[in-house]
Chains A and B, each alone.
Chain A
Amino acid sequence: MYKYDEIDQRLVDERVTQYREQTRRYLAGELSEDEFRPLRLQNGLYIQRHAPMLRIAVPYGMLSSKQLRKLADIASRYDKAYGHFTTRQNIQLNWPKLEDVPDILAELATVEMHAIQTSGNCIRNITTDQFAGVAPDEVVDPRAMAEIIRQWSTFHPEFALLPRKFKIAVSGTKEDRAVVQMHDIGMEFYLDHHHKLAIKVWVGGGLGRTPILGTVIREHLEWQHALTYCEAIVRVYNLHGRRDNSYKARIKILVKALGIDAFKSQVEAEWAHLKDAPNTITEAELARVSPHFAPMPYLALADEDASFDVAIASNLGFAAWAKRNVHAHKVPGYRAVTLSLKPHGKPPGDATSAQMHSVADLADQYSFGELRVSHEQNLILADVKVSDLLSVWEKARANGLASPNIGLLTDIICCPGGDFCSLANAKSIPIAEAIQIQFDDLDYLHDIGNIELNISGCMNACGHHHVGHIGILGIDKDGSEWYQVSIGGSQGNHASLGSVIGPSFSADEMPSVVQKLIDVYLQERTAEEQFIDTVRRLGIAPFKAQVYGEKNSAQNEVAV
Chain B
Amino acid sequence: MSNLIQLTNGAAHIVDNAWTLIKLPATQVEARKQAGKVVLFKLTGEKTVTETQVANTVIPANGKLIVPLTVLIARKAELQTRIDANEIGVWLDTHEVLETLIENQANLNALPLIAVHVERCADGRIFSLGVLLRTRYGFKNELRAIGDVLRDQLFFLKRSGFTSFAIRADRSATEAIASLNDFTQPYQGAVDEVRPAFTRYNRAG
Contacts and interface: CB of A to CB of B under 8 A. Distances in A.
B124 A159 contact: yes
B61 interface: no
A22 B33 CA distance: 29
B102 interface: no
A210 interface: no
Contacts of B123: 161, 243
Nearest to B95: A243
Contact of B196 (A5, A257, A278, A287): A278
A18 B151 CA distance: 11
Interface of A: 5, 7, 10-11, 14-15, 18, 22, 35, 38-39, 121, 151-152, 154-163, 227, 235, 238-244, 254, 257-258, 273, 277-279, 281-282, 284-285, 287-288
Contacts of B38: 240, 254, 257-258
A201 B183 CA distance: 31
Contact of A10 (B34, B125, B129, B185): B185
A238 B186 contact: no
A497 to B, nearest CB: 25
B25 to A, nearest CB: 24
A438 to B, nearest CB: 45
B34 A38 contact: no
A284 to B, nearest CB: 7
17 contacts: A5-B203, A18-B182, A22-B152, A152-B188, A152-B196, A155-B187, A157-B186, A158-B159, A159-B124, A238-B124, A238-B125, A238-B127, A257-B38, A258-B38, A278-B189, A278-B199, A279-B196
B interface bracket (residues with beta carbon within 8 Å of A) = 35 or more
B37 interface: yes
B interface majority secondary structure: loop
Contacts of B197: 7, 151
B35 interface: yes
Task: Among B39, B135, B189, B190, find the residue whose CB has the most chain A CB atoms closer than 10 A.
Answer: B39
B122 A158 contact: no
Nearest to A163: B36
B195 interface: yes
A2 to B, nearest CB: 12
Nearest to A18: B182
A238 B123 CA distance: 9
Interface string B135-171: 1100000000000001011011111100000000000
Contacts of B34: 242-244
A242 B129 CA distance: 16
B194 interface: yes
Given A18-B182, A284-B198, A284-B204, A235 B128 contact: yes
A12 to B, nearest CB: 10
B182 A161 contact: no
